[in-house]
Amino acid sequence: MFRRILVANRGEIALRVIRAAHELGVETVAVYSKGDEGAPYLDLADEAICIGPAASALSYLDIPRIIAAAEVGDVEAIHPGYGFLAENAHFAEVCRSCNVTFIGPPAEVIANCGDKARAKELARSAGVPVVPGSEGTVDNVEEATRIAAEIGYPVIVKAVSGGGGRGMRVAHNEVSLRSGFSSAQAEAAAAFNDGTVYVEKFVENPRHIEVQILAGADGEVVHLGERDCSVQRRHQKLIEEAPSPALDDDTRARIGAAAVAFAKAADYRNAGTVEFLLDKNGDFYFIELNARIQVEHPVTEMVSGIDLVQWQLRIASGEPLDFGQDDVQLSGHAIEFRINAEDPERNFAPAPGRIEVLALPGGRGVRVDSHVIAGYEIPRFYDSMIAKVIVYGKDREEALRIARRALREIRVEGPGLATTTGLHLRILGQAEFVNGAADTSFLERYLES
């Protein structure tokens, strides 16, 4: 195991990694920008190094500065968290050339999976069903309309380097495809510095089902069941749960096997998530692999009893898994609620500020992953997520009951502050969600009503 690692991230995921490392007896070096100076979680690391100004491009995304901090901090490995440099193949490569272990898959694997069009090809070759669409990338709108005519509308234009729901446009006819194609390209170019797109069938009202996998240092792969992340706004997840209320045992077994087949074909290592869409007929289609730890990983930890971040460190340090697929026992039901400093009443505008009063929930069946404390000023430069509330019950009904009482305990107050807590409570009163029937269109339909 490593003696000392650097955490190249901020906020709740930086704290999550620090906790996992300390439980393994590994020392931690945190990095922070001027925008995060004085953040309370930094005190929990063994050392904290300032890497630059608040702007991410000059700090958390600046590879030379991170590598310099790794030198100064005298670490053996770097955990990238999620976002920022987590799926940056070049960063993984630079780590390798600097003799620092990147805690994640090898650079080549990240590159193959990070390009969504290439990942789809890989899935096809592994016999994993994919959403019908273009073979590879689509260079111009004429090609896009030709493909759309073949597969039929509606279609979706997606950025090959996409993430966070950006660089996507749905088109119900040729006119909207012609405008959507160029706006998807432009948004992707601005967000990912890569305007390359591809086209696929838009699956109507699907469920978003993803499978957590772990691949040991020897390449052995297991899956830890699925998460249902269908409650989304603008293709971004807000509530995630495990297991999915939409799967029967047969589909569950097949989707797990498909995820493992894909991971093996990709020669995957470390923790990853294979994402699928499940349509109304119960058929599922691969959409992408996320080569990192995900925001919603705690729900899988709750139902599996396996610490995914500790396993990331163990695998990166060269360990094979010490359990096989048959040893994985999933039990109970877990649901995660993202508490974002956003105002649902004002079209989810960021609502950061100084937290003057703070109460986070606790009690039986409640886990809170958060880096904030009373007096903390939420910086306006970064992601607005301030806490994840994860509830666990013996079944979904109990988890929902615990969720209602836990979310009511939350108080986050201060001038200008607003959060998504009230919205979660309203969703918990919606029959469609309570009955386990929410698909990816549920939240937007509800918000419009």
Among the listed ranges 199-207, 258-266, 360-368, 413-421, the one in contact with ligand ADP (CB under 6 A) is 199-207
Nearer to ligand ADP, 36 or 383 (CB): 383
CA 96, CA 247: separation in Å to the nearest integer?
40
Contact pick of 127, 165, 318, 375 for ligand ADP (by CB under 6 A): 165
Query: Applying CB under 6 A, does 83 fall inside the site for ligand ADP?
Result: no
User: Counting beta carbons within 10 angstroms of the beta carbon of residue 437, is it exposed (0 to 12), middle (13 to 18) or buried (19 or more)?
Assistant: middle
* b/e sequence 15-28, b meaning 16+ C-beta within 10 Å: bbbbbbbeebebbb
From the CB of 350, what's the least distance to ligand ADP, in Å?
Answer: 19
Nearer to ligand ADP, 131 or 222 (CB): 131
Query: Applying CB under 6 A, does 352 fall inside the site for ligand ADP?
Result: no
Contact pick of 30, 184, 203, 231 for ligand ADP (by CB under 6 A): 203
Query: Applying CB under 6 A, does 208 fall inside the site for ligand ADP?
Result: yes
Tokens of 291: 């080569």
CA 198, CA 162: separation in Å to the nearest integer?
11
Per annotation, catalytic residue among 252, 292, 314, 338:
292
- CA torsion through residues 326, 328, 332, 333, sign: negative
Query: Applying CB under 6 A, does 275 fall inside the site for ligand ADP?
Result: yes
From the CB of 50, what's the least distance to ligand ADP, in Å?
Answer: 31
Q: Quick check: 291 and 110 in contact, CB under 8 A?
A: yes
From the CB of 201, what's the least distance to ligand ADP, in Å?
Answer: 6
From the CB of 448, what's the least distance to ligand ADP, in Å?
Answer: 16
Residue 364 annotated to the active site: no
Residues 6+ apart with CB under 8 A from 307: 20, 23, 301
Tokens of 437: 């029937």
Full DSSP string of 202-216: --SS-EEEEEEEEE-
State how beta strands 270-278 and 236-242 pair: unpaired
- Footprint on residues 209-238 left by ligand ADP (CB under 6 A): 232, 235
Query: Applying CB under 6 A, does 272 fall inside the site for ligand ADP?
Result: no
Among the listed ranges 25-33, 45-53, 119-127, 203-211, the one in contact with ligand ADP (CB under 6 A) is 203-211
The maximal CA–CA distance of the chain, rounded, in angstroms, is 59
Give the residue numbers annotated as catalytic, written as ranges.
292
Q: What residues line the site for ligand ADP (CB under 6 A)?
A: 131, 156, 162-165, 200-203, 206, 208, 232, 235, 275, 277, 287-288, 440
